[in-house]
């Protein structure tokens, strides 16, 4: 499996001169990424494309390569797979669609036979491709203009749907979340979700595994693998096709049999997997599990410069069965001495609308030192006039000096987004709304208390 991500040589089979063709975009993305290995192309009608040497067929390649990406029409795909087998190319990504998802089950079976005969590892068919953010092995067939690649990080994402994957990658790039590996695995004819979870479980670059699955090939094995891997690192799981209507749609998408949601959910929770109800959950939970420190308990302190946000946060804490803590009296006393009389030294602690950066520093330091506080939720509304931009440095300092999880909530426009993204990229989980932050806190506590 490793060579899917760390290949030192890649061949794009079905490379094209036409910029709108998949076989062109993949070659271009590999050229534009940080990939340092050797690149080859197969196209019988060209000598070179984008300055990459083209060969008539796989058999004509001057060397064995680590990884082949197949982007030829479905009628040619299996012949090309056989060519790869003969050339001793063991890792193959089949982008080509038109297999089981369209009722073409014969070719699926032929592919299985070929894989067995030549001992091949195959991702696909019917996939968007793969991405290793660290090595630059980028076989996605979508152009970088439309789909930004995320920065390096610890979230890996195995996704049965290419579209879900691409939209989420693009979103991750925008929001500043870090990614390790992305795999669109489509029909899962050879390499399936269990293989991927197993591989990512051992992968050092992967801190959290995200899964979007429409149908599981082998339920028993998937359960066992998840159970084993979730002891090592968090797995966040979103199931597509949890209803009759969605399940029916899944069959024509990736030929997946969706199964009952109750059965899945019960089994997954038993296997120690974090269940996501929707795409928003999937990434909120993943980045919090990647970034946040381990909480010692469920006692939350809220600091805010907006009273209403404090109230909504307090509501969310209680609704999520966390505890709105009471600070030690000596913390309260010391804060009352240094904070202005209008500040409410309680929980939520309202630093009010004229809060300064210094007021945040004093309040965060005191709360993080208080042993009654397990987690800190900092509401930071950049609309108020006396907050200076270097409040982000003050938050980073507090974050660096504590072992407790710290979450930041900021809502607003461009001015807010600049600051929010800066904190997120530093490793602090940032949210737009208090309800989302508290829900993620709850997941964090549950994850570390599941045993």
Residues 171 to 190: which contact a copy of itself by CB under 8 A? Answer: 171, 173-174
Restricted to residues 44-73, the positions that interact with a copy of itself (CB under 8 A) are none
Contact indicator for 86, 59 with CB cutoff of 8 Å: yes
Q: Is 83 helix (H, G, I), strand (E, B) or coil?
A: helix
Specify the stretch interacting with a copy of itself by CB under 8 A; choose among 59-67, 112-120, 286-294, 308-316. Answer: 308-316
- 43 or 161, CB closer to a copy of itself? 161
Q: Is 100 helix (H, G, I), strand (E, B) or coil?
A: helix
Interface with a copy of itself, residue 242, by CB under 8 A: yes
Report the alpha-carbon distance of residue 330 to residue 309 in Å, rounded. 26
Interface with a copy of itself, residue 159, by CB under 8 A: yes
Contact indicator for 191, 122 with CB cutoff of 8 Å: yes
Nearest-CA neighbor of 4 among 142, 218, 199? 199
Interface with a copy of itself, residue 318, by CB under 8 A: yes
Per CB under 8 A, the list member of 153, 154, 240, 295 interacting with a copy of itself is 240
Strand partners, 184: 159
- 145 or 329, CB closer to a copy of itself? 145
- 120 or 322, CB closer to a copy of itself? 322
How many Å from the N-terminal Cα to the C-terminal Cα in the chain?
31
Report the alpha-carbon distance of residue 233 to residue 360 in Å, rounded. 34
- 32 or 435, CB closer to a copy of itself? 435
Restricted to residues 343-402, the positions that interact with a copy of itself (CB under 8 A) are 344, 346-348, 350, 352-353, 381-386
Interface with a copy of itself, residue 416, by CB under 8 A: yes
Peptide linkage before 92 cis (omega within 30 of 0): no
Interface with a copy of itself, residue 125, by CB under 8 A: no
Restricted to residues 246-275, the positions that interact with a copy of itself (CB under 8 A) are 246, 248-250, 252-254
Helices and strands in the chain: count of H runs, count of E runs: 16, 19
Count of residues binding a copy of itself (CB under 8 A)?
90
Q: Is 222 helix (H, G, I), strand (E, B) or coil?
A: helix
Q: How far is the CB of 15 from a copy of itself (least distance, A)?
A: 15
């Amino acid at each position: 499996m490793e060579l899917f991500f760390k290949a030192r040589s890649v061949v794009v089979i079905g490379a094209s001169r036409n910029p709108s063709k998949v076989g062109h975009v993949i070659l271009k993305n590999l050229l534009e990424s940080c990939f340092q290995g050797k690149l080859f192309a197969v196209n019988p009608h060209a000598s070179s494309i984008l300055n990459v040497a083209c060969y008539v067929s796989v058999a004509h390649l001057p060397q064995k390569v680590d990884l082949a990406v197949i982007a030829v029409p479905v009628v040619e795909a299996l012949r090309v797979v056989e060519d790869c087998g003969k050339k001793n190319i063991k890792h193959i990504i089949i982008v080509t669609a038109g297999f089981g998802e369209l009722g073409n089950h014969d070719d699926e079976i032929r592919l299985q036979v070929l894989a067995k005969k030549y001992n091949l590892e195959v991702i696909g068919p019917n996939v968007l491709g793969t991405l290793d953010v660290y090595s630059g092995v980028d076989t996605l067939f979508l152009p970088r203009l439309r789909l930004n690649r995320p920065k390096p990080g610890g979230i890996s994402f195995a996704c049965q749907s290419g579209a879900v994957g691409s939209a989420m990658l693009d979103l991750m790039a925008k929001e500043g979340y870090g990614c390790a590996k992305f795999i669109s695995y489509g029909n899962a004819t050879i390499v399936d979700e269990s293989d991927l979870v197993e591989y990512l479980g051992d992968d050092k670059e992967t801190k959290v595994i995200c899964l979007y699955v429409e149908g599981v090939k082998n339920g028993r094995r998937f359960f066992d693998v998840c159970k084993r891997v979730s002891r090592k690192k968090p797995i966040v799981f979103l199931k597509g096709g949890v209803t009759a209507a969605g399940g029916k749609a899944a069959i024509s998408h990736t030929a997946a049999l969706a199964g009952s949601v109750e059965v899945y959910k019960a089994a997954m929770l038993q296997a120690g997997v974090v269940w996501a109800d929707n795409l928003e959950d999937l990434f909120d939970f993943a980045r919090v599990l990647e970034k946040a420190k381990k909480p010692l308990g469920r006692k939350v302190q809220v600091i805010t410069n907006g009273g209403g946000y404090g109230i909504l946060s307090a509501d969310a804490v209680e609704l999520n069965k966390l505890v709105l803590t009471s600070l030690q009296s000596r913390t309260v006393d010391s804060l009352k001495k240094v904070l202005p009389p209008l500040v409410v030294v309680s929980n939520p602690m309202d630093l009010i609308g004229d809060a300064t950066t210094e007021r945040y520093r004093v309040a965060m330091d005191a709360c993080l030192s208080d042993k009654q506080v397990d987690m800190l939720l900092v509401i930071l509304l950049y609309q108020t006039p006396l907050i200076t931009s270097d409040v982000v440095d003050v938050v980073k300092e507090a974050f660096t000096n504590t072992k407790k999880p710290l979450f930041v909530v900021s809502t607003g426009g461009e001015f807010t987004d600049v600051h929010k993204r800066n904190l997120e990229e530093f490793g602090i989980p940032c949210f737009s709304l208090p309800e989302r932050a508290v829900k993620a806190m709850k997941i964090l506590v549950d994850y570390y208390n599941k045993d």
